[in-house]
Structures are given as structure tokens and as C-alpha cells.
Structure 1
């Protein structure tokens, strides 16, 4: 990966792509601003979501947006969607396929949400797609920010003539705009508690909202590590071909080979020697996963890689050789256990924004040999703040890294939560805790303490926070003067 000049920060290439130059479109058009304007204009028509989704689905079908590629995959779930989509796009692109993908949330740039072969959409192309959608969509459809983005992405995929379309669900699944896709394969990464206000207060209720992305007679890949009876029942009732992690697919105990059930022979397993021994994920050139040992199979990387292989098998893509895959190195998407270093400071940034994600983050840190860490934490007020704090302070599992010092900071925007309000949830734990409302001050304090202890600084809690942390990281000289 390219290195940001003078910073030592490894970051993905920010190459925008455009297929057609159109001088009639101004280069400085702000596509996201247009999306926000249209969403606000159509807000009065956002009544019952069921009726709105019916209108969106009808419009998408009329415009040919339900089928935009020969092979189509929809990816839902609570955590890990972005990593799964990113890994799938990386591998398919390396194999020579033309791959369009959507992911959310974005970390620094709205245009990150739509990409072709790993390169984000150009501002002009997105602007044209947004303007066309505003002109074409019936005026009584209450389109949201996510609806507009997804429909524009499908429009662009069709224009780009992609071979494979990878579409990530925004929220839930049943009534999400992504579900207009006539998906050949559905992936459900996992189901944990998040967005309870919109989706339900239990795993079962949330599962009922997420699982309808599956289609009858087509595969549903469930990558959750725990049994989910709602998912299993839905598959039975709707004739969905269910493939579960560590049951119908996974990694064998004896030789670290990927295995998958042969659909034509329900009781047989095909062991595909895919060379997981050398497969790794890195943002610094350091191998995170080697030999796919048993202890690492529940890592987010291991599950994502295995899920990608199963998806390719379901799509009928099997010409990846053991040698090719064995030497393939995945790159984690921005803000997902993202390791950066500058001089003596080392930091990990992660968008973990619910209890399960925080538990997984601590587990991943332990896998990397990090026993203790300094945390810079901020979250949105509509999240399960109490549950996130419980996950952060839980000391019952020795397989997870422990927090030494907690520095609370503000998050911004309409959903932002002040650090002093967040502190109320931390008080019962009697933690070694500081408050620094300004993120740059919080980072400066963390780096200063890390310098004395040789610990890693971990910044997490929301995509908004991580995005600002990346910006601040690029201006570290300011941090050195703002530690008070």
C-alpha cells in the first residue's frame, strides 16, 4: 500500500474513477450535499417504511436496478459487513473481475461508499447519478440518505457494466433499500444487539429484520459464531439453502483447509485446498494471521476470509488456485482495526460502535500480542452506551486485552454525545478515567501516557470519531502542543 508522504501513515489510495468526461458538470459538485438536500426534500413522504419500500422496489425494478450484474451478492449483519465486502472485492478484482461495491459508513469521504475495483466513485459521476435519480424518481417516494446512495450505486454499476455487484445492507435488511437487489447469494455476517430502537430489543427480533435478504432456492451464508434459530427457521420455511460457519463451511482441524458442503450432496463435504497457511491481513506489512491456527479462527479476519471463499464457491467462481490464494494479502478497510505508526507513537483505530464489536476489538488486540492498551473512546448517544461500557470493562475473559487508561472525548453531529455525559456511564466501574472533550487533546494525552508505558493507543467508538482521528493524525504537530 502507498505511504502518505512524510507521515508514515499507511492509507489506501484515494484514486477516484470516471468513465466519461462531461464538461457540462462542474468538477466541484458536492454529491453528498445533493443527497442530503434530496433526502430533506422528500422527508415529508417518509411515512410507513413498508409502503415506502414497496415504492422503492417498484421504481428499482422499472429502472432495471434489481439486476445490474451477472453475479450479485447482498451482505447484511450487525458487524463485519464492510470487511467482508472489501475482502470479496479485493479477491475478485485480483482474479480479473470488474466489481462494483457499496459499503457504509464512510470514514472520511462520502464517495468511499461506492467503488469500482477498489477505487471510489468520482465526484462528477456521483453527481450525475444523484441528479438523474432526483429527476426520475416519483416525487412521492420518501427517499432517505441511504436509499439515494444505494439506488445511485446500482445505477452506476449498470453503467459500468460490472461483472459482480456487492451491495451492503445499511440497517436491518427486510426493508432496506439494498434488498431491492435480486441477489444470487446472501451473506449474513452475524446478528448481535445494535439499533434496537429500529430493529427490536432482542437477537431474535433483530434476526427477523435481517434474514429476509435471503432468497428462496438460493444460498444464505451465515457467518455468525453462535447458533441462530430464527435464521435456521427462516431458511426452512422459505426454501433457502443455508450454509453456516463451522457447520456447512469453515476451516478443517487437521490441515487448515477450507471446506464447504456440496449442494448436490447434502451429506458430503468437499475439502478445497485453498492455502490458508500464508493468508494474511495487514495495513503495515506485518502478518496478522499465519497458518490459520485454531486460536485465530474466530478473528474478524479469519471469519471474513472464510466467508468470502464460501461466497465465491456459491457464485460458481472456483478457478482460484492454492498457490494464488496462499500468496494473496488482504488489506483491511479503513477504520477496521487499523494500525498506524508515526515516530514512536503507535495507534489502532476502529469503528467498534456496539457491545459485540468492542468485545471483538479487545479479542483482536490480544491476538496481536497487546495485553493492555490506552483507550480514547467516544460514541453516539443513540447507541447502547451502557452495554458498550460493560463490554469495555468486562474482565471475565482472559482472551481479551485489558484497558489501562480511558480517555473520554466528544462525538459530533446530531447524534453526538458529550464526554461528560458519557462519563456517567463509566462512573460505576471506578476506572482510571480522564475527560478531554477535544479529540486532539485526548489523543495528545494518550500519546504522552503511551510514551511512558510503551502501550498502544486505541481510538474507537464511532465512524465519525475515527474519521476525525485520521484527520488529526495527519496534523500530529498540532497534538504535541495541545496536551493540556
Structure 2
């Protein structure tokens, strides 16, 4: 089933290729296998542990926590996935990516300890991150859940505080096809008696019921914490703490204040074990960085990179595009994985794009450019109504934060008639992006979205040009 074990001194790339062969399934949810190996490794984290789950917003929330806590002088480890350019991005220790050598050392330890136990790629890499964090004697470990929560490898750790950023439809083959089912899976990162931060403005009842059932200390957005703001600054309000006169996070996007509020709620809930000053928060939010989340590159034409790949995330992306003003043409370089709800996802943004550049993504989960183009053509032949869920969710957040008078709702966007579009196909994202740059004028804009596998190659091409993109 697996290929030959990498030789002594083999590079990280060889190990990563080997790990992909260890288990018959790329995704095989469950905690039994990883727990056996973690016990063999005597794995234990003697630090404050924050777990972050959710459909969207996990990466941004982790990045904000990491930046704030580093500014406060804590020793912080952050584990996220997937990566854009290099595997090392997944494991950060005190703001620096783990080195190839140290990652390989952990892989060798895990290989020696696992015996006949078969582990997935994600299970091995999760163990490697946890081993590195254990060796570093951290103050705080921030752990992003990969998929779901209940059976995700990260959930072998009992978090001192768990954050649930949002619940929406994604990974339905593994988590269920309703928000209620998916919410219950994600809520299993909560622990009895520990703070459970729920940032979803309209959480499924299953999330609330599970928190009550296990006796978690549930913090709800709009009830236990919220935000308010104007064009210049914003403020956080929690159960007993208020942080005012805050600058907006360096991360762009309509939902970033919800993510920032969730991070600050977690820090409030962990006080006095974690002490963070107002200046730490200000500096942390000012300097936070996370590529490919509504990342707008300097120069013309306007170029936006975003890994949005499900209906909820793409609806938010659409709102962010609307806030940028008018552009004669919007070129979209898009590639998606076939296990996503492609039609529902692209329908959330179709009326904003008139130049589609569909790309093929390789691998067993990839979708061909021709398959994408067929879906795009079908969507653009009909009207594209606004997405009611994201508009309602954002409005609930505004009302909870006091940004709008209670009872006053934003008018829904009207359906927009089908518009003149062009659809072309390309074998890879870099080729499509190069063509978009040739065709777009300085007054147009280029959007690259749909998957980490779409944005990553474009980022790498820009990096090779000498652009500072990550």
C-alpha cells in the first residue's frame, strides 16, 4: 500500500510524497488511529490550547490570535491547513515557519512509533505539529481544525477554549447536508466547562443544544460579545470587557470584524491566564497577515486573490467586490474541486463577472476547465439573484453590534438580468492568469478564486517575478 520509506536524510518533499501513500483514503475521519500513535509518542501539550473550527473564517481568526499574542510577548505555535506555496506554512512557531529539518525529524519519530497503524497525510502532519509545539514549551497553541470537528485529528486535543467561526454547507459528503448536521459535527470541539466561542450570527440549534448538553461555557455573538464601529475605528464589547478605539484589521473583508470579535472573546474568556493589553490588540490587528483572503495586490489592474470555495465564502467575496466600486470588466480565473457544490458556489458571484477563465485542477479531486465552463454558461444564461443567507447573517451581525437601528434591514439586492459574458478554458491557473493580465486594461480587475489549488500556483508565479505576495 505504501511506497518505500524515505532514506536517511531524505528531503521534506520525499517525506510528503511518502505520507500520501500511507493510507488507502486521503480523507478518513476518526480519532482511534491517531490516538494510538499519540500515546506511543507520549504526546502532551502543557500550554493553553485554542481550537478553531468553522466553515469559513478559521484562518483569519487564527492569524489574528497569533499576531495579538505575539505582540503580547507570548510564545505561540499556530497550526493551520492547507498551505499555499510551502508545506512549512502550516506550522508556525513564534511567527516563523518550521524548518524542513525539524519537520522531517518529527516525521521520522512518528514513523518509528506508528508500527502497523495506518495514518492519513493530515493525521501525520497534525502529530508533527503537536510534537514540535510540545518541544518548544509554548505558552499558547492555536490549532485550526481541518474538516468538521468531532472526528478531525486536531480534536484529540482538549482545548482550553474552542472557537466556532461559522457554519455553512461544505464537505457535505463527510459532515451531512444540512447546517444542523454540520453544526453538530463542528460543535464537538467544545469541552465541558471550557469557553466555547460561537461567532456565527445565526447558529444552528444543534450547536446550542450540544453546548448546553455538555456544560460548555457558551459565548454567543450578539449576546455575549459583539462589535460596533464607524469608518475610522471599531470597538469590541464582551461580557465584562470593552476595547474601544481599535483600528480595523489589516485583513480585508466584510466578515473580518466578526472574526476579530471572536478572537477577542476568546482572549477575554481566557483572562487572567492570558493578559493582553489594548496596545497588543491594536498592534496585532494592524500587522496581521494572511495571503489569499481578499488579498488585493498593489498596482493596476486591480488584482484580487481569494481562496473562497463554498457558497458562504463566495457570497462574502461578492459583497467585498461590490464595495470596490465599478470596473468595466471583471476577469475571473477560477478552478474548483469536484467535491464542492460548484453550481451553488458560482451562482453567488456570477452576476459580478463578465470574463470567465475556467482552469483545470489536477489530482483525483480536480475539476476540468470544460466541466466548469459548462456550469458557468448555464448560470450566466439566467438571472443571478443575491444570496439571502449571507445578507441576513451580515445584517444580524450589524444589528447585534449596534451598527444599525434594530428592525431596520438592508434592502435585498434585486435579481440582475443575464449579462454579456465570455467563457474560456485553460489547462492551469498560471496560464489563465497570464492571459487575463494581457487582456485586462488598467481600469479592469482580475479575480483569482475557487481553491487553494487555484490561488497557490498564481501566488508562486508572482513570487518568482519578485513580487512580495506572502
TM-score (norm 1): 0.80
- 1:311 corresponds to 2:280: no
- 1:350 corresponds to 2:306: yes
> Structure 1 residues 237 and 41, CA, compared in 2 at 3 Å: closer, same or farther?
same
Could you say which residue in structure 2 is the equivalent of 1:143?
Answer: 119
- The answer as to whether partners of 1:92 and 1:99 remain within 8 angstroms in 2 is yes
- The answer as to whether partners of 2:28 and 2:120 remain within 8 angstroms in 1 is no
> Structure 1 residues 414 and 307, CA, compared in 2 at 3 Å: closer, same or farther?
same
- 1:459 corresponds to 2:448: yes
> Structure 1 residues 300 and 410, CA, compared in 2 at 3 Å: closer, same or farther?
same
> Structure 1 residues 370 and 239, CA, compared in 2 at 3 Å: closer, same or farther?
farther
Shift of 1:309: 0.7
Could you say which residue in structure 1 is the equivalent of 2:226?
Answer: 250
Distance, in Å, in 1 between the alignment partners of 2:463 and 2:20 is: 32
> Structure 1 residues 259 and 74, CA, compared in 2 at 3 Å: closer, same or farther?
same
- 1:414 corresponds to 2:356: no
- The answer as to whether partners of 1:188 and 1:222 remain within 8 angstroms in 2 is yes
Shift of 1:179: 0.3
> Structure 1 residues 442 and 151, CA, compared in 2 at 3 Å: closer, same or farther?
same
Could you say which residue in structure 2 is the equivalent of 1:470?
Answer: 459
Shift of 1:168: 0.9
Query: Across the two proteins, how many residue pairs are aligned to each other?
Result: 415
- 1:128 corresponds to 2:83: no
Shift of 1:448: 3.3
Distance, in Å, in 1 between the alignment partners of 2:147 and 2:302 is: 33
Q: Superposed, which structure 2 residues align to 1:16-415 within 5 Å? A: 26=9, 29-43=10-24, 49-50=29-30, 53-61=31-39, 63-65=41-43, 67-139=44-116, 141-252=117-228, 256-261=234-239, 270-276=240-246, 278-281=247-250, 299-316=254-271, 319-328=275-284, 329-342=286-299, 344-369=300-325, 373-393=330-350, 402-415=352-365
Distance, in Å, in 2 between the alignment partners of 1:32 and 1:186 is: 33
- The answer as to whether partners of 1:32 and 1:110 remain within 8 angstroms in 2 is no
> Structure 1 residues 169 and 370, CA, compared in 2 at 3 Å: closer, same or farther?
farther
- 1:425 corresponds to 2:380: no
Higher relative contact order (CA 8 A, sep 6+): 2
Shift of 1:111: 1.2
- 1:442 corresponds to 2:417: no
SS of aligned partner of 1:106: coil
SS of aligned partner of 2:348: helix
Distance, in Å, in 1 between the alignment partners of 2:463 and 2:99 is: 23
Question: Alpha-carbon deviations, 1:187-245, whole Å to 9, x = none?
Answer: 11111111111111111111121111110111111111223211001011111111111
Shift of 1:450: 2.6
Distance, in Å, in 2 between the alignment partners of 1:252 and 1:280 is: 14
Distance, in Å, in 1 between the alignment partners of 2:155 and 2:271 is: 22
Distance, in Å, in 2 between the alignment partners of 1:188 and 1:118 is: 23
SS of aligned partner of 1:213: coil
- The answer as to whether partners of 1:36 and 1:145 remain within 8 angstroms in 2 is no
> Structure 1 residues 476 and 48, CA, compared in 2 at 3 Å: closer, same or farther?
closer
Distance, in Å, in 2 between the alignment partners of 1:374 and 1:47 is: 33
SS of aligned partner of 1:43: coil
Tell me, which stretches of 5 or more residues in structure 1 are unaligned?
Answer: 1-23, 262-269, 283-287, 289-295, 396-401, 478-484
The CA RMSD over aligned residues, in Å, is 2.6
Tell me, which stretches of 5 or more residues in structure 2 are unaligned?
Answer: 1-6, 382-419
Question: Alpha-carbon deviations, 1:330-377, whole Å to 9, x = none?
Answer: 3331221112135x3331111111111111111122334466732111
> Structure 1 residues 434 and 472, CA, compared in 2 at 3 Å: closer, same or farther?
farther
- The answer as to whether partners of 2:228 and 2:234 remain within 8 angstroms in 1 is yes
Moved more, 252-261 or 208-217: 252-261
Distance, in Å, in 1 between the alignment partners of 2:193 and 2:227 is: 25
Question: Alpha-carbon deviations, 1:284-319, whole Å to 9, x = none?
Answer: xxxx5xxxxxxx8xx232122111111111222564
